[in-house]
Amino acid sequence: SHYQCQTQCQSNQVPQTETSNPAANGYYPIFYPDRVKELWRQEQQQTVAQQTNDVWHLLRQQNNREKSDTVKQRSAGVGRNQYQIDAGQHVYGAVYCKECGLTYSIHEPEEELFHDKFHRSQAKLSFPSGLNEQIVVQVPEWDVTGRIIVVSQVDSSRQPVLKKAQSVLEMVDSELGYATRGELPDGACVYLAIARSTVLGICVVQPLQLANRIICLEGLHGVPIDCYSSEFYPAKCGISRIWVAPKYRRKGIGRKLVASVRYHYIFGYAISVDEIAFGAPTEVGKLFAETICARKDFLVFV
């Protein structure tokens, strides 16, 4: 009958669920770029929501994280860069290391080797307890152990602290591209920001009487060029290096180091920001100096 034929035809029909929603078939996301973008946005939103930006939480995350005793060896990469394809692997592309604060591309041997070297260098940021420290200021918002200490190059009673500061400075000079690493200028003082046995930042200060001002001129094709003024201006000190660990940057640590220099470098005298010179600043250091001094023509020295 017509009813039986209609029922039989309906039972022989193939379900259309697989073809109507191809993304539900379990294929790799490379075939659905719109879906990949949506998943990436959701992942980024969840990551940002879970991140904590203050030093207090970052230190505790580092302290509670399990520390591995062995370093995973990776083969050295050679040749040209290789493009990556999302073929179902769990992690690909740029990743952020929560321990050392470095962003690198995973599954790229050259970048993974660089990350391993950088990660191992962060071990130099550990600061042992029990040393003879000269505490300049306590910083409880970092931690109950948060503090800024100072050690002088000529202070014979604090040589272990000075050696530790120089080991940190070697890593800093390597990152900044200095030819001579770990060397201190004559009469230098080193300020260290420390919390929970970790060096957060370092500032090297030296005595100075005269400095120049930085002048930005327009060069060829409108490219700005930084020059030094021919005139000299009075100065009280010079900051040859100021550095903060990548994980703790933009948390006000650099400002606190400069404030410690201003109010504690010369006993009984508060140094003005116009009396502090910066030595050959990088692009990031230039922006930092402009923010601290509230002017673009801040003092510099060679």
**pTM across the whole model:** 0.67
Number of C-beta neighbours around residue 43 at 10 A: 10
Domain definitions of the chain by residue range: 94-123, 126-300
CATH placement of domain 126-300: 3.40.630
Place of tokens 């530790």: 164
Residue located via tokens 């659905």: 32
Taking the mean position of all CA atoms in its chain, how far away is CA 193? 15
Q: For residue range 247-274, what is the model confidence (pLDDT) as tens digits?
A: 899 999 999 999 999 999 999 999 999 9
Per-residue pLDDT of the chain (302 residues; tens, 9 = 90+): 544 444 444 545 544 444 445 545 555 555 555 665 676 677 666 655 455 567 877 777 766 653 444 444 444 444 455 555 555 555 557 788 776 667 877 777 887 777 777 766 666 788 888 889 999 999 999 999 999 999 998 888 899 999 999 999 998 888 887 777 888 989 999 999 999 999 999 999 999 999 999 998 887 777 888 899 999 999 999 999 999 998 899 999 999 999 999 999 999 999 999 999 999 888 999 999 999 999 999 999 98
